[in-house]
Structure 1
Amino acid sequence: MRKLFVFLALALLVACNKYLPLGEVSTGEGPWKSKVVPPSPQPADGDPVAGLDYLIHGDYIGSGIPIEIMRKQAAKMDLDSLYPRNALNEGIPYYMTAFVAPNGAETVNGNCFTCHAGEVDGQLVLGLGNSFAEWEKSMVPMGAVMRMGMALKYKKDAPETEAFVDFGRYFREMAPTVKLNQPGANPAFRLAEACMMHRDPEDLTHVADPLYEMWEYNIGTDTPPLWHVGKKNALYYTGTGRGSMPKLLLQASVLGVPDSSHTRKSVEAFRDVYAFLSQLEPPTYPGTIDEPLAREGELIFNDKCAGCHGTYGAEETYPNKIINVEVVKTDRLYADYIQQSAIVDWYNRSWFATSEPQSRFEPSSGYVAPPLDGIWATAPYLHNGSVPTVYELLNSSARPERWTRDGKSTSYDHRKLGWLYDPEPRNKPWTFDTTVPGYGNGGHTFGDKLTEDQRWAVVEYLKTL
């Protein structure tokens, strides 16, 4: 039963180095190799404490299921606790939030930490992407059961029914679009597409007939850590999300809000959310570190990798570069998909883009070289999660075509930094297949030019970030 509510909550929801002369925006002669994303004005007056409180107690999804249903199921669960809860949320799982709907009904829905709290090396980490998410089963039957259960238990004019209507409606629209064919991948962009195509862009009210078409192929990505938000000038793997970070971070609200009037209130609170995320720190590596070897690795990293991934320590830098797919050569399907998606035009005509503070979508044929703070915890790697360890990220010839995790967060490889895996899977659960469209493990071959000793030194240094 816990999976049902995890699914509900989940519905809220690289790379380069100095081996190549990157870092300059194209002058118009020939294709661009890399682009620097310029900063946009962001609020500097947010309250981080209030931001966390709103993330775990706020009503930014707007609608959901009755709290009495969640309480009955929570009583059967072994609940993990990541933070203190208020009285209404006492006994509610950390990945869900109870709130009072506008009509006074006590309601529950998922919060951001369904996708952005994950387990690694046996510990649950706030802000870590949840790489154990399961999106390989269809959510269509679940939605049907949920709607039927509501109809049987509550009258049409009951407050609980009214508080469920918007969530139930958008859950039905998005459920067919998010079933994936890889374990651990997250279909957040698909979810947003499916909800937004049934919303008027000006006021976010429901539209029965879809406003645009979607690809039939469902594609997902690895879930990035939230502690990188403060360094980024754009969100998403292709750097598509530009402008107001509070607006961009608030997009999960399209799963359940009635219209933009609710979102206008929430965006003010998301100024505090942005302040919280901007000061969020990655977990410290829990194992031992060979300090002399790490210092060797730092010199190599700063020479070969820092041009795109930044520097760390006393004087940190992060260049915010998008690397052309023809340069990084990682699987390009996701970048191509976002460039052709009609959600870009919808978003740029929507309340998100036309009201202050403005945000916008600006896709490109490339992937952002991410910050590497806490990289030890963020396996698997590349935008599609196709590489199980940091070592294999630096040695493309060692990457397995198919690999299987056992689904346990304790199965961690401290030497290679990433997941322990079986390289010869035989149709086992949690098997990642890099031959599936959109999930190839090629590209990012810059580390292949390192010697084996240099490679291990860089791995050791990355433990310190």
Structure 2
Amino acid sequence: MRPVALAVVTLLSACSSVPPAAGVPDSDTDTSTGSSGGDSTSEGGHALCDGGPWQSGQPIAVPELPVGDPAAGYEALLTEDYVSCGIPWELFGFAEDVLGVEEPLPGRTGKNAEVGHAWNVVTLEDGSELVVSNCLQCHAGYFDGELIVGLGKASADFTTSLSDFAEPLPDLPETSDANAAFNKFKARAAALGPYSTMLTIGANPAVMFAIILLSHRDPVTLAWSDEPRYELSTELVIPADPPPWWRVGKKASNFANGMSRRDHRGTMVLASSLCTDSVEEAGPVVDYFADIQAYLASLEAPRYPFAIDEALAADGAEIFECNCAGCHGTYAADPAAETYPNLLIPLDVIGTDPSFATLSAEGGFYHHLKDWFNESFYGMFSEVVTDDPTPGYTAPPLDGIWATAPYFHNGSVPSIALVLDSTARPSTWRRLDYDSTHFDEAALGWPWEPAMAWSEAPASERKFIYDTTAFGYGNGGHTFGDHLDDAERLALLEYLKTL
């Protein structure tokens, strides 16, 4: 899999400042200096293994998860009705004219073979058929022209309020369960719309969806209230960047701020519970999400599809080991030899856009999400932790990192080259196009160009512009590659292609 990854393993003994994998105590490691000896230098003259942000990181314990069947999980993901409302089958063709026709997913059968990959066709109790969303709405993206299940959908467009779609539609006569489910679907979309509209294509409202859904529900019964129980804001809308599923098997927590702890089924089901309004309905969903959770954990990153300079990548492996591995782990041909420390990096260390972490922490506008969740039915399985021991962001594993542009938890940086050089990041930018075959192999990201400020652009152009001065869209922080020279960054980028 990784032709130069063994170089990383051999370097482990030389880099004693790299922390052990989470859950493995190492009382003999002195992290006060972070030095492995002091005289090892890179080609650019920079000290290797001389400490880094991992010294401030707080490890998150790896939970014991319920046993699940990955094959059953894949089947449930693409057949079950965990959203609980949608569009009647008879009307779905008209809906596609508005929503856009998606590519079907190979291997599906029956009417599921006739709809796009992000929809499931289900039969309700009265025999009526309903087309419901599935997780691939956000978690199936394109790279080099190929649809990849588990890759975040960087071209998803949530820039139009869901209310604009829903409110003009008439209610259907409730002569079937499917019609009644459509009326509920329309009402929920209208409730989500004002507080979840993104500024730019690719920005994802998943965090806001979770906050809005719980704000309308009783934590114990899950009963829906048309009036929110907690205050919401159209000004404090948090964008997210959906991470790839193939990292799930290594991660101890979900969400960029590491807030999903213990068994993650609770947070996963809540995030997809658009119309799941009772414990009786949610319980069976939580049960089969054990299988879905097992499926996600079974996924592996795709291989880099283009040429790799093996010698340059080997040089990059050494640079990675002593500048990046402390937070992001080590990689090897044998997965059993890999390490990943599962660290939560404090905000004042990581420095990336603080909005999500601070708004969900103690004293933040959305801090109620922690209290609601931990007191709720879902809190029986999962726990939400937003500020213990500190607000921050988790340093993710980097398997398949080359495929996952744009970068940071809010998708604010278009390439890895810019992740490694904070001084070169654009304040406003736009992708040149949304053709996934147009990939920048040198910078590892989508080709982009500078853009005018979002507020100054014509309304028709705004959704294509990423403006890092907007609330929640900042691209600062993670300056840990700034000390590298151009040659070192080039080698590091080549190594990342092997992951």
Return the TM-score normalized by structure 1: 0.88
* Structure 1 contact 127–226 (Cα < 8 Å) conserved: yes
Corresponding residue for residue 387 of structure 1: 413
Aligned residue among 362, 368, 378 for 1:352: 378
Contact 1:57 1:86 in 2 (8 A): no
SS at match of 1:456: helix
Inter-partner Cα distance in structure 2 for 1:20 and 1:438? 30
Q: Deviations over 1:188-236 (max 9, x none)?
A: 1111111211111112112233211123322211111111111111110
Q: Could you tell me which of 228, 235, 240 is aligned with 1:210?
A: 228
Moved beyond 3 Å, runs of 4+: 17-24, 71-79, 424-429
Structure 1: distance between partners of 2:222 and 2:71? 29
In structure 1, the gaps of 5 or more residues are: 1-16, 25-32
1:66/1:190 Cα in 2 relative to 1: closer, same or farther (>3 Å)? Answer: same
In the alignment, is the contact (CA less than 8 A) between 1:404 and 1:425 conserved in 2? no
Partner residue of 2:449?
A: 422
Q: 1:74 Cα shift? A: 5.2
Give yes or no for contact 1:88–1:99 (8 Å, CA) kept in 2: no
Which residue is equivalent to 2:127? 104
- Structural mapping, 1:319-358, within 5 Å: 319-339=341-361, 340=364, 341=366, 342-353=368-379, 355=380, 358=381
Does the aligned pair in 2 maintain the 1:66–1:107 contact within 8 Å?
yes
Q: 1:244 to 1:374 in 2, by over 3 A?
A: same
Matched, 1:40 2:63: yes
Aligned to 1:5: none
> Which residue does 1:82 correspond to in 2?
105
**Structure 2 stretches of 5 or more lacking a match?**
1-47
Q: Distance in 1 between matches of 2:101 and 2:87?
A: 21
For residues 119 and 347 of structure 1, the distance between their equivalents in structure 2, rounded to whole angstroms, comes to 33
Q: Within 1, Cα distance between the matches of 2:94 and 2:259?
A: 41
1:128 aligns with 2:151: yes
Task: Indicate the residue corresponding to 2:498 in structure 1.
Answer: 464
Among 65, 70, 79, the alignment partner of 2:87 is: 65
Partners of 1:167 and 1:257 within 8 A in 2:
no
User: What SS is found at the alignment partner of 1:125?
Assistant: strand
Distance 1:49 1:418 in 2: 32
In the alignment, the residues of structure 2 paired with residue 104 and residue 348 of structure 1 have an alpha-carbon distance, to the nearest angstrom, of 37
- Secondary structure of 1:308's counterpart equals helix
1:94-129, CA deviations, whole angstroms, 9 ceiling, x for partnerless residues? 011111224432111111011000112322211011
1:55 aligns with 2:77: yes
Deviation at 1:329, TM superposition (A): 1.0
Aligned to 2:398: 372
- CA displacement 1:26-78 (0-9 Å, x = unmatched): xxxxxxx321001122023x111111111011111122220111145559976
Q: Distance in 1 between matches of 2:178 and 2:472?
A: 41
Q: Give the residue type in structure 1 aligned to 2:479.
A: T
- Whether the aligned pair in 2 keeps the contact of 1:395 and 1:448 (CA below 8 Å) is yes
- Taking the aligned partners of 2:208 and 2:343, their CA distance within structure 1 comes to 25
CA deviation vs aligned residue, 1:314-354 (integer Å, no higher than 9, x gap)? 2111111011110111111121122221121111111000x
Cα gap change, 1:72 to 1:243, in 2 (>3 Å): same
CA contact (8 A) 1:434 1:441 kept: yes
* Cα deviation code 1:340-382 (max 9, x no counterpart): 21121111111000x3xx2111013111000100000000111
Residue 407 of structure 1 aligns to a residue whose secondary structure is coil
Query: Per the alignment, do residues 287 and 425 of structure 1 end up closer, same or farther by CA in structure 2, a change over 3 Å counting?
Result: farther
Aligned counterpart, 2:211: 193
C-alpha change, 1:75 and 1:143, in structure 2 (3 Å) is: closer
- What is the alpha-carbon distance in structure 2 between the residues aligned to residue 40 and residue 125 of structure 1? 27
Kindly provide the amino acid, as one letter, of the partner of residue 83 in structure 1: P
Q: 2:466 aligns with which of 432, 446, 457?
A: 432
| Matching of residue 409 in structure 1 with residue 436 in structure 2 | yes
Deviation digits for residues 419-455 of structure 1 (CA, Å, limit 9, x no counterpart): 1011255844522111112211111111111121111
Q: Which of 417, 421, 424 does residue 398 from structure 1 map onto? A: 424
Q: Does the 8 A contact of 2:199 with 2:466 survive in 1?
A: no
Change (3 A) 1:69 1:18: farther
1:199/1:205 contact within 8 Å kept:
yes
- Alpha carbons of structure 1 residues 439 and 79: separation in structure 2 relative to 1, 3 Å: closer
User: Structure 1 stretch 418-427 or stretch 262-271: which is displaced more?
Assistant: 418-427
Tell me how many residue pairs correspond in the alignment. Answer: 432
SS in 2 for 1:118: strand
Give the distance between the partners of 1:274 and 1:158, measured in 2 at CA. Answer: 33
3-state SS in 2 of match to 1:205: coil
Asked if structure 1 preserves the Cα contact closer than 8 Å seen for 2:167 and 2:186, the reply is: no
- Matched-pair contact (CA < 8 Å) for 1:74–1:92: no
Query: Within the alignment, does 1:452 sit opposite 2:486 as a pair?
Result: yes
**Taking every aligned residue pair, what percent have the same amino acid on both sides?**
38
Q: Deviation per CA, 1:8-34, whole angstroms, max 9, x where unpaired?
A: xxxxxxxxx96644445xxxxxxxx32
**C-alpha deviation, 1:79, in angstroms:** 4.4
Deviation at 1:172, TM superposition (A): 2.4
Structure 1 letter corresponding to 2:473: Y
Alpha-carbon distance in 2 for matches of 1:214, 1:460 = 44
Matched with 1:297 is 316
For residue 201 of structure 2, give the secondary structure of its aligned residue in structure 1: coil
Secondary structure of 1:176's counterpart equals helix
Structure 1 counterpart SS, 2:130 = strand
Task: Tell me the distance in 2 between the aligned counterparts of 1:60 and 1:347.
Answer: 18
Question: Counterpart of 2:338?
Answer: 316
What is the DSSP-based 3-state SS (H/G/I as helix, E as strand, rest coil) of the residue aligned with 1:254? Answer: coil
Which amino acid letter does the alignment assign opposite residue 274 of structure 1?
A: Q
Cα deviation 1:142-200 (Å, max 9, x = unaligned): 11133x1x43xxx2343332333443332222121111223311111111111211111
- Matched with 2:22 is none
* Alpha-carbon separation, structure 2, partners of 1:206 and 1:423: 44
